[in-house]
Structure 1
């Protein structure tokens, strides 16, 4: 756990929390697998046609920008045709090159203020905040459009060191209007406690791409209502 200057959350807060129904309903935030070539565009179409998805994050590693852009462009068109926000992971320069709807920044991927200056006022900027309320508040003050907490559950998608409790979502949604994303090992079977805790978006990857993507999206749709 990151040393958070705000200290530990009171567990009684979680017990007393009631989700604010005036906030929009929790939505699905779909993250790509690392391999997005070959038949993946068809799989993405199938997933997005199976149920509501608010955003799709293009997440690839160890590719030069030219190759990443080549892989991203057909996926971006698929998202645009379905009014799904296309978010680029990590790279402000790639997001700018593609004219993406947004960029998601890890703690080592740059300052949201610099991303805003490069991408303009209308691009969505998200920031990974692990299990830290302090980092989330800093991200909000820096102009982020959403903050992401996780990993809530074990995941094989990436190596994780931070495991917040769902109460951090309750705390955030009680005090701030800025949306929060829950991420990390989330499946249709374990998503509901995070929705109840206050998540505005549920981010998922392996639960969709490791099996029948359409069936998984339909299952998430039932949970998110």
Structure 2
């Protein structure tokens, strides 16, 4: 059994971004709320050049806060935009292609995992993290109990870090308890009425509370 001495940290997964200026403002709000390890940037449709420009606009502000910017896009868009890595849902073939292009110079994360063996295949392919619970292509979300089970199973056994995707604020606490290395707050966190700074602070408080309980044992 593998133990993980590193504490759980927070990630954000943006909605598809077309307006980089507006997103830059929201990300600054988020980072003011406390510790964030990485931001997974999803890009709205557009030509390659416009997508690269959006990544460039956001890479500087994010990275200046010591936060990694991981892009759900091709390796080319990520590298030319100055991102720290890519988030892929294309299976082992996509991972192999990205590894060939990026070598070991950037983060490669895997999502869109439907079954345990999918995750194990990605781990064997050498990804830097696997994500459980993110919305499916049709927008539906896996049941929270299934995500809790999957994240807890992975965190207990495997060395490759896992990300547990929180579908709402109420799920943050239960997902922190799985021991997952990262908790991801998704597109819902960027809703206009959402206090993103406060949400990040709340999530970090839940992480700190679990760490305190563990150290007290």
Say whether the fold is shared (TM-score over 0.5).
yes
Q: Determine if contact 2:91/2:122 at 8 Å carries over to the other structure.
A: no
Q: Which deviations, in whole Å up to 9, do the C-alpha atoms of 1:116-146 show, x marking residues without a partner?
A: 1101212111111434110111001111111
Q: TM-score, normalised by structure 2?
A: 0.83
- RMSD of aligned alpha carbons: 2.4
Q: Which deviations, in whole Å up to 9, do the C-alpha atoms of 1:44-78 show, x marking residues without a partner?
A: 11211221100011101321111112222121001
Q: Determine if contact 2:70/2:84 at 8 Å carries over to the other structure.
A: yes
Q: TM-score, normalised by structure 1?
A: 0.80
> Which of the two has greater helix per residue?
2
Deviates more, 1:27-36 or 1:141-150: 27-36
Distance 1:219 1:157 in 2: 28
Distance 1:219 1:91 in 2: 33
Would you say 1:159 and 2:142 are equivalent positions?
Answer: no
Distance 2:92 2:71 in 1: 12
Distance 1:195 1:51 in 2: 16
Q: Which deviations, in whole Å up to 9, do the C-alpha atoms of 1:180-222 show, x marking residues without a partner?
A: 01125142x2211111112111111234211122111111121
What is aligned with 1:137? 120
Q: Which runs of 5+ in 1 are unaligned?
A: 1-18
Q: Determine if contact 2:17/2:44 at 8 Å carries over to the other structure.
A: no
Would you say 1:97 and 2:77 are equivalent positions?
Answer: no
What is aligned with 2:102? 119
| Displacement of 1:108 | 5.6
Q: Determine if contact 2:87/2:108 at 8 Å carries over to the other structure.
A: yes
| Displacement of 1:162 | 4.2
What is aligned with 1:173? 155
Distance 2:91 2:149 in 1: 25
Distance 1:222 1:156 in 2: 28
Distance 1:161 1:136 in 2: 17
Deviates more, 1:109-118 or 1:197-206: 109-118
